[in-house]
Structure formats: C-alpha cells, structure tokens
Amino acid sequence: MPRKKNGQQPGFGARLAALRKAAGYTQQELAQELGVSRRLIAYYERETEHPPATLLPGLAAALGATTDELLGVATLRRKAAKPDRRLQRRMQQIERMNPKDKRQALQILDALIEREQLRATKG
C-alpha cells in the first residue's frame, strides 16, 4: 500500500486503486462488477478524496476488503496468498460456455500447463 511522504495513510483514491490492483481487476472490470462506468472508478481513484457512500459496500465485497479498510479507518490486513480473482472470473466464464467451446478452452489450457511442466523439468 502506498504511503504519503508525511507518514500518513494514503487517501481514499490511492487505497481504492491499490486494492483494485491487488484483487486483479482493471478499472473496466471493477466498473462492470459494480454496474457503474469506468470513468466513475477512475474519478474515485484520482480526482476525489470523498468516498462514494452508496458504492462502499459493493466495492468492499468485490475487492475482498472491509469498508473500514477502504476508508482508512482500519489498516489493510496482509492476506495469505490467495487465488487470482481475475483467473477465477475467467474460469467462471469458461464454465458458462457451450460444451464444444469449453472443451477447446480446456485443451488450450492443458497444452499451456504441459508446456510449463516440461520447461520446469528441463530447467
């Protein structure tokens, strides 16, 4: 989490951006998750120090944080390594595909995994 020069906690926008990136979201993906525009997310990350009260619960849930952490009232918890949420979202999208497309996506993933395993055994 970024720190301000004077030792204080970073502002709301910096906390929001850091949490968004840590959760593996782009601004566009987070906006879609919340049903708002990407411009609104960008605005809250850069232009304002006034958090959006109506969006706080949704932001906290999407980012795996508490509203207190978003507001800077509580310090961010250092979390153990967790699965990549972006990857999880992609896997959920694959799950919803028709069987033929799902099979092709899994074949591509299997080939990439096999290639990586071969590299690991050679190196």
Series of mean pLDDT values for 10-residue runs along the chain (123 residues): 53 90 90 94 87 91 89 67 70 90 91 86 77
CA distance 18 to 49: 15
Break the chain into its structural domains and give their ranges.
Answer: 12-71, 85-122
pLDDT at 7: 52
Residues 6+ apart with CB under 8 A from 9: 3, 15, 72
Q: What is the CATH superfamily name and number for domain 12-71?
A: lambda repressor-like DNA-binding domains (1.10.260.40)
pLDDT at 78: 53
pLDDT at 39: 95
